[in-house]
Amino acid sequence: MQRTMSDRVDIVLIPIISLFLAFSISALIIAGIGEDPFEAAALMVSGALGSAYGWGYTLYYATNFIFVGLAFAVAFHARLFNIGGEGQAMLGALGTALVALHIPWPHWSLALLGCGIGAALFGAFWALIPAWMQARRGSHIVITTIMFNFIAAALLNYLLVNHLRPEGSVAPGSALFPDAVHLPTLHDILSPLGFAFSKSTPANITAFLSVAAAILLWFFLWRTRTGYEIRTFGHSENAARYAGIDPFRITLIAMGLSGALAGLMALNATMGESERLILNPTEGAGFIGIAVALMGRCHPLGIVLASILFGFLYQGGAELALWTSIPRELIVVIQALVILFTGALDNMVRMPIERLLARSKRARSKA
Amino acid sequence: MTSTPASTHASMPSGQRSPNASPPVSPPAIELRGISRAFGPVQANREIDLSVMPGTIHGIIGENGAGKSTLVSILYGFYQADEGEILIDGRRVDIHDSQAAIAAGIGMVFQHFKLVENFTVLENIILGSEKGALLRPVLAKARRELMDIEREYELEAPPDAKIEDLSIGQRQRVEILKALYRQARVLILDEPTGVLTPAEADRLFAILRRLRSEGKTIILITHKLREIMEVTDTVSVMRQGRMLATVATAATDIEELAERMVGRKVSLQIDKPCACLGDTLLEVENLHIETGTETPASPLAGIDFSLRAGEILGIAGVAGNGQSELLEVLAGYRRAKGSVRIKGCEVALSGSGIDAGSRRAAGLAHIPEDRQGVGLVMGFSVEENAILGYHRSFGYGTGALMDRSAIRSEAKRHITQFDIRPPDPGRAARDFSGGNQQKIVVAREIGAEPDILLIGQPTRGVDIGAIEFIHRRIIALRDAGKAILLVSVELEEILSLADRIMVMFGGRIMGERPAKETDERELGLLMAGVV
Amino acid sequence: MSELAADLIPVLDSTLRLSTPLLLACLAGLFSERAGVFDLGLEGKMLAAAFFSAAVAFLTDSVWTGLAAGVLASVVLALLHGLASISFRGNQLISGIAINFLAVGMTAMIARSWFGLGGHTPALEGGSRFDALHLPFEGIVAQVPLVGPLYAELISGHTILVYLSLALVPMTWWIFYRTRLGLRLRAAGEAPDAVETAGISVVGLRYIAVILCGVLCGLAGAYMATGLHAGFVNEMTAGRGFIALAALIFAKWRPWAALWSCLLFGFLQALSLRPDLFERHFSIHLQLQLLDALPYILTVVILAGFVGKAIPPKACGVPYVKGGAG
């Protein structure tokens, strides 16, 4: 499909310039606390990408972000602003844990399937309530999904303290999942092929699943009739009604899918890493989904790239905090700046670029 | 928008003073000299000269896109002119924002009212011109002043009523009061009767005459010639961004104005063979929309008609008398009560059974009134728009999947058959001109080979060339034995296209006439609710 | 009964204290949203204010300088929100989310860098904290049965910001319904077109609203760090900005109702601090997590329209484009 100039600006230039602005401001902050930003950058690159260990963590984080980024994006294509990825991912973790703990799985592959269904159903359920409220009762989905994040945290807290905590344990957390549920790590997968991958990192088979999810979502949105309906609804609700598209159905499909994708993050974080249900199973990844989706322009390919970038930032940031006085929270600042520039100040970034392009075009047509 | 000079332009040099106007004793209330304004490549106003004498009602007419709205927006400070100057009472003024326009004594009544709906009349009137920081004394003073104004101009509005509880006519009077409260000496009204019933329009004209007798100057912008003839003293004609002529209303007539407005002899009469009527395809009985507490007046209050193959049934009426709702109900995206039969089969009008998709499947297509908001997805390409509403049909894919090459070839077929320019199926709908956007919609709906076609305002905002093209297509479809329901607020369009004409007023059908046996006068009376 | 009263007074006392930041933030949101600027960033502005007020109060040993610094930090973030949502007509939701993250990251980073205490400020004491104000005749009135303890223990003995927040409720009401500024702000949130055609700048009005919102969030955050607690701790606002947002919806964007809903939500927080009291008197086992979630659940119920309908200002969240409709 042919793209116009402003599309190209939107897809490529704005994320890159926004990222540049975010990095520049972060560099100033690093300099402000008395560290060398270039050294810090070098340390981040070597810490996140310079070793199999670094890559292992980078990919682990990226996998989480891909799931929640896709979750935000699919709802956004229907112009539904799902800020509830965090809560939906928490419920997904709950679903994963219940399935992993209560069914005696013979093999990890079956367990992965079962836990995946559990995670997706729980996540979808948590998104469908706000979706129903929006479609039938007109309640603002932004507010309800925020509220549902807090309710999810309280629910998880309640269940962990009162019901899922094993006998004799003080800390709120479920029992460890049985060994049969243990997912193969990238090390397990790659070593028979002759690659030595770090043993001690949590990157696992769900990394492939997340990429598969991205490809499937792309196919769904741009190659199926329901995907077409979702995008139509997102562009114009009136046109959708005119085209015989049921707003209720689309709202529920888009949000259900969104919640399910957010829930699937638990396969990586809960089943693949912690291997039990913990109090904060998402560690804020739900919100990073917003950043990667905005930066990836809500396109699956963009989201995968943005997720790898954020995975790199997370792992690199952890290394920075370990070796320098630069705190880990630097990543939160970068994340905030990326959201700000790509999502809220994109007109500020776009206007000068478009003016510049228009001027050069005029100059060329005159010549 | 094109910049082809109009054929009659040479005969009417711009800014020509009315031959009958008396020699100016006082300077004009408003004088524009050489006003030009461009938006990107589009020249919306070119060297406009205009002078309006105090104490007169001055009409400005022109088709959609002639530049009327831009001109008044410049007068009210929304846009700045690229060139030219504005004189008020003979003095040059710089109107850089609305505040300056208000200070210069200009008041404006917009087509879409600028009122805060959950504020009272009084609060709306003082907004922005409060004389003091505390509301209570301000409101008390304003109440007294408002009563004086109401007495002086014989205008009334309940000061403590909320705007949301007022009728459209009352809201308009609040807008006029708002301008008078700001001591406007010049009042500009932009298409003020578009949303009014004929009775309310008459009332408005009475108010305008009263204001004129009190020495106010009024500029009335409209594309309705009848109004111009009824209420104005002088009239200016705009076309393609130029001011073509200014004449005394008494010295001209509707035909002459119409000719100047469109730039040639108005002859939209199309030669068409006699209708060969076939089976009855659409039957509508007692169609009505139930009234709720929020909508006390029903937009549809019992409609009955039938439509046969091979005929065009035109529905005329002032905008807002239920025509839009009728189309939406028939097209399947608005609920109603009553009975509708398509080819003899009853269709669901309420509950979960209604949807536009099943109507399409039954052979009904719909060209909606609002092509940008409803008929097209502006961000989608021609290709994606070519299947809007038909995206579930068999030809565009199998099962859940869409067949991209089938969709592309369909879009290409539309482009060649309907001469859509530029011929680029990947280009977004928003990057096409109004006429070509309409062609994308028309191509899709006619291309679906429906038995029944609903058409709303097919040529609104469409350039003349595309109008003729679209009209010919509609006639061809009728001659191919399809049933067509045409809704238009343009009487000439209805008269030239339709075989039968029904007039809607207040959600009812006021009467039905064969197109050959009626004329604008008779239809106009029906449109005004006079049986 | 008297035993119940004796136990109730401390709960009500902490209700008042815990409601204060909610109320200040809720009124902040009220200013912003009634003027048409949706604000998800209350939380972030409070957090920034909490940190800077505590840090500057510690460094200067003056709580008032700290308060000023906190308000300033909050206003800076508010202006950033204004820049994104008013000047550049960006997405107000996204801007609010970004500001929350910015505050979380910046405060933790600067806290570590300035104080090296793992993200919190040193404990504040003496002049770097707000003291309790003791109202006149406290000692004498305390002897009066029933009224006495209420006056001495519940009403008296709070910091000045508590009283200020209560006074701000009628003040806010007065500004919105009795002054020209209020009329214009409300109009900007309902029908910005009407404001602009009346010759007033919507952009200007919305900036005023956003700045007032910043000031109030600043007070809320400063109170958290220098009144309620003695210093800044990482992410100490703990979702209060969102509870305030919930309270605002619960109150249907009205000042007095905001007071009642904040007191209700503050009461729930106070109860969750003392579940033992409840158990003792009513022999009901209180589920702490349920108490925590209750403000959110109540808001969801309200939003679903089961208890009245919460209709936001009509133009709230919509960037204003001048002449866009004309």
Tens of pLDDT along A45-99? 998 988 888 999 999 999 999 999 999 999 999 999 999 999 999 999 999 999 9
Q: What is the percentage of chain A residues whose pLDDT exceeds 70?
A: 97
Domain assignment present for A182: yes
**In the complex, which subunits touch A with 3 or more CB pairs below 8 angstroms?**
B, C
Task: Provide mean pLDDT across the span B196-200.
Answer: 71
Q: What is the percentage of chain C residues whose pLDDT exceeds 90?
A: 56
Q: What is residue B299's predicted lDDT score, i.e. its pLDDT?
A: 82
Inter-chain touch C113–A327, beta carbons under 8 Å = yes
CA C319 to chain centre: 24
Count of residues making up chain B: 531
The Cα of C99 is separated from the nearest Cα of chain A by a number of Å equal to 7
CB of B20 less than 8 A from some CB of C: no
**In the complex, which subunits touch B with 3 or more CB pairs below 8 angstroms?**
A, C
Interface test with B, best of A225, A230, A235 (most B CBs within 10 A): A225
The Cα of A54 is separated from the nearest Cα of chain C by a number of Å equal to 23
Task: Provide mean pLDDT across the span B182-202.
Answer: 83
CB B29 within 8 A of CB B217: yes
Task: Provide mean pLDDT across the span A265-289.
Answer: 90
Q: What is residue A367's predicted lDDT score, i.e. its pLDDT?
A: 57
Instruction: Identify the burial level of A62 via C-beta atoms within 10 angstroms of its C-beta, where 0-12 means exposed, 13-18 middle and 19 or more buried.
Output: buried
- Where residue B270 falls among pLDDT bands split at 50, 70, 90? low
Pairing of β B500-505 and β B483-487: unpaired
- Tens-digit pLDDT profile for residues B371-428: 888 999 999 999 999 999 999 888 888 888 999 999 999 999 999 998 888 898 998 9
Q: Report chain A residues whose CB lies below 8 A from the CB of B381.
A: 1-2
The 3-state secondary structure of C135-191, one letter per residue: CCCHHHHCCCCCHHHHHHHHHCCEEHHHHHHHHHHHHHHHHHHHEHHHHHHHHHHHC
3-class state of residue B346 by DSSP:
strand
Inter-chain touch B128–C314, beta carbons under 8 Å = no
Inter-chain touch A336–C305, beta carbons under 8 Å = no
If you compute the radius of gyration of chain C from its CA atoms, what whole number of angstroms results?
Answer: 20
Q: What is residue B252's predicted lDDT score, i.e. its pLDDT?
A: 86
Q: What is residue B464's predicted lDDT score, i.e. its pLDDT?
A: 65
Work out the mean pLDDT of chain B and round it to a whole number: 85
- Where residue B125 falls among pLDDT bands split at 50, 70, 90? very high
**At residue C320, does pLDDT exceed 50?**
yes
Domain assignment present for C134: yes
Domain assignment present for C33: yes
Pairing of β B500-505 and β B312-316: parallel
Domain assignment present for C135: yes
Domain assignment present for C112: yes
Is C322 or A205 the better-scoring residue by pLDDT? A205
CB A88 within 8 A of CB A286: yes
Residue A172, preceding peptide bond in cis (omega within 30° of 0) = no
The 3-state secondary structure of chain C, one letter per residue: CHHHHHHHHHHHHHHHHHHHHHHHHHHHHHHHHHCCCCCCCHHHHHHHHHHHHHHHHHHHCCHHHHHHHHHHHHHHHHHHHHHHHHHCCCCHHHHHHHHHHHHHHHHHHHHHHHHCCCCCCCCCCHHHCCCEECCCCHHHHCCCCCHHHHHHHHHCCEEHHHHHHHHHHHHHHHHHHHEHHHHHHHHHHHCHHHHHHCCCCHHHHHHHHHHHHHHHHHHHHHHHHHHHCCCCCCCCCCCHHHHHHHHHHHCCCCHHHHHHHHHHHHHHHHHHHCHHHHHHHHCCCCCHHHHHHHHHHHHHHHHCCCCCCCCCCCCCCCCCCCCCCC
> What gap in Å lies between CA B234 and CA B450, rounded to an integer?
48
Q: What is residue B528's predicted lDDT score, i.e. its pLDDT?
A: 67
Q: Report chain B residues whose CB lies below 8 A from the CB of C198.
A: 98, 102, 114, 127-129, 178
B131 to chain C: closest CA residue: C180
> What gap in Å lies between CA B20 and CA B459, rounded to an integer?
36
Domain assignment present for A328: no
Range of the domain at C174: 20-237
Domain assignment present for A42: no
Q: Residues 137..176 of C with a Cβ closer than 8 Å to A: which?
A: none
CB of C99 less than 8 A from some CB of A: yes
Q: Report the C-alpha dihedral over residues B240, B246, B251, B257, rounded to 10 degrees.
A: 10
Interface test with C, best of B37, B98, B111 (most C CBs within 10 A): B98
**At residue B507, does pLDDT exceed 70?**
yes
Is A70 or A361 the better-scoring residue by pLDDT? A70
Inter-chain touch C40–A146, beta carbons under 8 Å = yes
- Where residue B1 falls among pLDDT bands split at 50, 70, 90? very low
Task: Provide mean pLDDT across the span C126-142.
Answer: 82
Give me the number of domains chain C comprises: 1
Pairing of β B83-88 and β B91-93: antiparallel
Question: Which of B78, B71, B122 minimizes the C-alpha distance to B101?
Answer: B78
**At residue C326, does pLDDT exceed 60?**
no
> What gap in Å lies between CA B485 and CA B474, rounded to an integer?
10
Instruction: Identify the burial level of A28 via C-beta atoms within 10 angstroms of its C-beta, where 0-12 means exposed, 13-18 middle and 19 or more buried.
Output: exposed
Structural domains of chain B, with CATH: 30-262 (3.40.50.300), 280-363+450-527 (3.40.50.300)
CB A177 within 8 A of CB A276: yes
Task: Provide mean pLDDT across the span B482-493.
Answer: 88
**At residue C151, does pLDDT exceed 90?**
no
**At residue B295, does pLDDT exceed 70?**
no
Q: Report chain C residues whose CB lies below 8 A from the CB of B97.
A: 199
For residue C76, which amino acid is it?
V
**Which distant-in-sequence residues (6+ apart) come within 8 Å of A102 by Cβ?**
none
- Tens-digit pLDDT profile for residues C212-234: 999 999 999 999 999 999 999 98
Task: Provide mean pLDDT across the span B204-224.
Answer: 90
The Cα of B511 is separated from the nearest Cα of chain A by a number of Å equal to 29
Domain assignment present for A158: yes
Inter-chain touch B114–C199, beta carbons under 8 Å = no
Inter-chain touch B356–A2, beta carbons under 8 Å = no
Q: What is residue B19's predicted lDDT score, i.e. its pLDDT?
A: 46
Question: Which of C213, C242, C237, C244 minimizes the C-alpha distance to C104?
Answer: C237
The lowest-confidence range among A141-150, A295-304, B143-152, B271-280 is: B271-280
Q: What is the percentage of chain B residues whose pLDDT exceeds 90?
A: 45
The lowest-confidence range among A126-130, B246-250, C207-211 is: B246-250
Inter-chain touch B360–A229, beta carbons under 8 Å = no
CB B190 within 8 A of CB B111: yes
Q: What is residue C145's predicted lDDT score, i.e. its pLDDT?
A: 76
CB of A78 less than 8 A from some CB of B: no
C90: its two tokens = 């960006």
The Cα of C325 is separated from the nearest Cα of chain B by a number of Å equal to 8
Task: Provide mean pLDDT across the span B268-288.
Answer: 82
Q: What is residue A4's predicted lDDT score, i.e. its pLDDT?
A: 54
Distances, alpha carbon B23 to alpha carbons B19, B20, B30, B235, in Å:
10, 9, 16, 17
**DSSP secondary structure letter of residue B196:** S
3-class state of residue A278 by DSSP:
strand
- Where residue B353 falls among pLDDT bands split at 50, 70, 90? low
Q: What is residue A2's predicted lDDT score, i.e. its pLDDT?
A: 42
CB of A4 less than 8 A from some CB of B: yes
**DSSP secondary structure letter of residue A82:** -
Backbone φ, ψ for residue A261 (5° rounding): -65, -40
Q: What is residue A231's predicted lDDT score, i.e. its pLDDT?
A: 96
**At residue B25, does pLDDT exceed 70?**
no
Domain assignment present for A335: no
CB A134 within 8 A of CB A115: no
Q: What is residue A221's predicted lDDT score, i.e. its pLDDT?
A: 95
- Tens-digit pLDDT profile for residues C291-311: 888 888 888 887 787 766 677
Instruction: Identify the burial level of C145 via C-beta atoms within 10 angstroms of its C-beta, where 0-12 means exposed, 13-18 middle and 19 or more buried.
Output: exposed
> What gap in Å lies between CA B245 and CA B239, rounded to an integer?
10
- Tens-digit pLDDT profile for residues B203-212: 899 999 999 9
CB of B39 less than 8 A from some CB of A: no
Q: Residues 21..80 of C with a Cβ closer than 8 Å to A: which?
A: 40, 80
Domain assignment present for A72: yes
Domain assignment present for C183: yes
Is C322 or A97 the better-scoring residue by pLDDT? A97
- Where residue A120 falls among pLDDT bands split at 50, 70, 90? very high
The Cα of A23 is separated from the nearest Cα of chain C by a number of Å equal to 14
- Would you tell me how many other CB atoms lie within 10 Å of the CB of residue C152? 21
Q: What is residue B39's predicted lDDT score, i.e. its pLDDT?
A: 78
Q: What is residue A143's predicted lDDT score, i.e. its pLDDT?
A: 87
- Tens-digit pLDDT profile for residues A121-176: 999 999 999 999 999 888 889 889 999 999 999 999 999 988 888 887 777 888 88
**Which distant-in-sequence residues (6+ apart) come within 8 Å of B75 by Cβ?**
B30, B32, B86, B95, B101, B106, B108, B188
Task: Provide mean pLDDT across the span A327-344.
Answer: 88
Is B238 or C31 the better-scoring residue by pLDDT? C31
The lowest-confidence range among A363-367, C79-83, C197-201, C207-211 is: A363-367
Select the residue of C183, C197, C323 nearest B123 (Cβ to Cβ).
C183
3-class state of residue A324 by DSSP:
coil
Interface test with A, best of C101, C113, C117 (most A CBs within 10 A): C101
Inter-chain touch B374–A238, beta carbons under 8 Å = yes
**At residue B266, does pLDDT exceed 70?**
no
CB B509 within 8 A of CB B305: yes
B521: its two tokens = 């006068």
Q: Any idea which residue has 């050294």 for tokens?
A: A39
Q: Report chain B residues whose CB lies below 8 A from the CB of A238.
A: 370, 373-374
Segment holding B204, helix H or strand E: helix B198-213
Task: Provide mean pLDDT across the span C125-145.
Answer: 81
Q: What is residue B15's predicted lDDT score, i.e. its pLDDT?
A: 41
Domain assignment present for C195: yes
Q: What is residue B18's predicted lDDT score, i.e. its pLDDT?
A: 45
- Tens-digit pLDDT profile for residues C53-72: 999 999 999 999 999 999 99
Does the interface predicted TM-score (ipTM) exceed 0.95?
A: no
Inter-chain touch A239–B431, beta carbons under 8 Å = no
Q: What is residue B335's predicted lDDT score, i.e. its pLDDT?
A: 87
Give me the number of domains chain A comprises: 1
- Where residue B5 falls among pLDDT bands split at 50, 70, 90? very low
B179: its two tokens = 């301008």
pTM given for the model: 0.86
Inter-chain touch C303–A339, beta carbons under 8 Å = no
> What gap in Å lies between CA B408 and CA C157, rounded to an integer?
76
- Where residue B14 falls among pLDDT bands split at 50, 70, 90? very low
3-class state of residue B127 by DSSP:
coil
Interface test with C, best of A146, A292, A342 (most C CBs within 10 A): A146
Q: Residues 498..517 of B with a Cβ closer than 8 Å to A: which?
A: none
Domain assignment present for A236: yes
Task: Provide mean pLDDT across the span A233-241.
Answer: 93
Work out the mean pLDDT of chain C and round it to a whole number: 89
Question: Which of C269, C227, C223, C228 minimizes the C-alpha distance to C246?
Answer: C269
The Cα of C269 is separated from the nearest Cα of chain A by a number of Å equal to 14
**At residue A321, does pLDDT exceed 90?**
no
B-C C-beta contacts closer than 8 Å = 81
Domain assignment present for C314: no
CB B497 within 8 A of CB B486: yes
- Where residue B524 falls among pLDDT bands split at 50, 70, 90? confident
**At residue C40, does pLDDT exceed 60?**
yes
**Which distant-in-sequence residues (6+ apart) come within 8 Å of A208 by Cβ?**
none
Domain assignment present for C305: no
Q: Report chain B residues whose CB lies below 8 A from the CB of C189.
A: none
Range of the domain at A123: 65-194+205-296
Domain assignment present for A60: no
B241: its two tokens = 């961004």
> What gap in Å lies between CA B30 and CA B258, rounded to an integer?
25
Chain C interface residues (partner B, CB cutoff 8 A): 177-184, 186-187, 190-191, 193-200, 314, 322-323, 325-326
Q: Report chain C residues whose CB lies below 8 A from the CB of A327.
A: 108-109, 112-113, 119
Q: What is residue B64's predicted lDDT score, i.e. its pLDDT?
A: 65
